[in-house]
Amino acid sequence: MQTADPIQQLVKLGAEVETDDEGQVTFVRLFGPRYNDQMIDRFAGLSAVAVIDIRDTEITESGAKRLRDLLPDVEIRHR
């Protein structure tokens, strides 16, 4: 259960997290200015998540590209 710690940290920061019937995280929605390019490396543990929505954050196009490179199997929704 490698994603438990990063997920719990994101929930504490106000992220919206959805799970399937088996408890696997399928969707994470981040919002607010606290999520910016400096936070990208903290998302490395989210590789098992299907979708991460960063549309309502301060993450730039460059940060979104870095996140896609870091998590190539995750759908990153950005602007």
pLDDT of residue 7: 77
Helix (H) or strand (E) holding 29: strand 25-32
Which two tokens mark 5? 């710690």
Across the range 44-49, mean pLDDT stands at 86
Distances (CA, A) of 28 to 6, 40, 59: 11, 14, 15
The domain ranges of the chain are: 4-77
Across the range 25-43, mean pLDDT stands at 91
Cβ neighbours around 39 below 10 Å, total:
18
CA–CA gap between residue 35 and residue 18 (Å, rounded): 18
pLDDT exceeds 50 at position 22: yes
Q: Please give the CATH topology (third level) of the domain spanning 4-77.
A: Transcription Regulator spoIIAA (3.30.750)
CA–CA gap between residue 43 and residue 22 (Å, rounded): 22
Helix (H) or strand (E) holding 26: strand 25-32
pLDDT averaged over every residue in the chain: 88
